Amino acid sequence: MRIYRRNFDQPRNNLEDRTLHGIYSFEKLFDVFCEMKTAQGRSAATVNHYRRSFKLLIDFLNEKGIRKDVRNVKTEHLRQFINWMITERKRHLDHRYKPESAKNKPLSKRTAYGYIKNIKSFYRFLVDESYIHENPTELIDNVKYVDKDIEIMTADEVRALLSVPNIRRYADFRDFVIMHLLLDSICRIGEALSLKRSDVDIQGRTVYFRGENTKSKKPRLVPIKAKTARLIKELIEETDDFETDYIFLVNYGEPMSTERFRKRLDIITRQAGIKRSINPHLFRHTGATMFLEAGGDIRHLQMILGHSDMRMVQRYTHLTTKSILNQHEEFSPLNTVETKLQKERKILR
């Protein structure tokens, strides 16, 4: 049973004031919701995604003049919110590093799908905790979207990226090592940047991703090549003066954030002469695809990626048409059926 104390300094006749500061305030209840998710073991990145969803909903309510009271927002408001996201809301409005062309487009349907999924989770919490009695999101369908094919990086593009950093400079060398690790271990950027010295076995050439830092919350041990291990060892030696166990640090000794590396990668991409956008996760897609195309086994890839569901692994196997043609040429059932006399013969040069 909850006991709420009313602030008697607040005017009782001002509904908006009571809404903003009372127990039905969107802001207060969403803070409670995020605290619950954190207590459940959700990662900081996941909770931040919840907060971005919530901020977007608040922006919509403010723009449309809808009172920010959880009892006041109805199903029709949330449907309007979805339409607003994919038709009116502009992306990256406050982003200092995005070009103007990227700021004039509405949110993608996939992005809207993720945000409304978070809002639905918030409303289930409100019903479970008896703040409201009816869930206005129950009648809202998920936003339908079509997954775009992800274009992996070519080997030439990866080489171009790796050629940019001046490895005589600390920050450039650190970025050089991060890119090697991302491609070699096929890990996520958050997993890479959370590594501590004790997580790396230089002699055994393995890195240990702790469960608290992985998306699945399960730890995994991943092998790395001798070159990657040597680069990490050199980087650790460079940062001996800093009193921290983290490996990837900014110049003043603080752990590097994913957002900071994204900005660094944007600069590296431009300097490499690559016209399209390159994000850290593209290293994971590229690494997984190159692993399979080089003859790697999909089961071992699943273990390296840390996916329990094989269907998730398929998302990273964007095999090129050339690779598929070569595989088919080598393993076609007709190869077994045909005799030498039936196979194509070379007649003319």
Q: What domains appear along the chain, each with residue ranges and CATH number?
A: 15-128 (1.10.150), 155-319 (1.10.443.10)
CA distances from residue 106 to 30, 62, 80, 93 in whole angstroms, order as listed: 25, 18, 14, 10
As a whole number of angstroms, the distance between CA 68 and CA 185 comes to 45
Tell which residue, 257, 248, 326, 285, has the closest CA to residue 157: 285
pLDDT top residue among 57 and 322: 57
Strand partners, 249: 255
Q: What is the pTM of this model?
A: 0.67
In this structure, which amino acid lies at residue 78?
Answer: L
Strand ranges across the sheet with 200-201: 200-201, 206-209, 220-223
Over 90: is that where the pLDDT of 230 sits? yes
Report the distance separating Cα 54 and Cα 69, nearest Å: 13
Indicate the average pLDDT of the chain: 82
Q: Is residue 319 a contact partner of residue 216, using CB atoms and an 8 Å limit?
A: no
Query: Where is average pLDDT lowest: 3-7, 121-125, 147-151, 223-227?
Result: 3-7
pLDDT, tens digit (0-9, with 9 covering 90-100), for 155-172: 999 999 999 999 999 999
Cα 47–51–56 angle (5° rounding)?
150
If you average pLDDT over residues 235-244, what whole number do you get?
A: 91
Instruction: Please check the confidence at residue 3 and state whether its pLDDT lies above 50.
Output: no
Structure tokens at 300: 């071992």
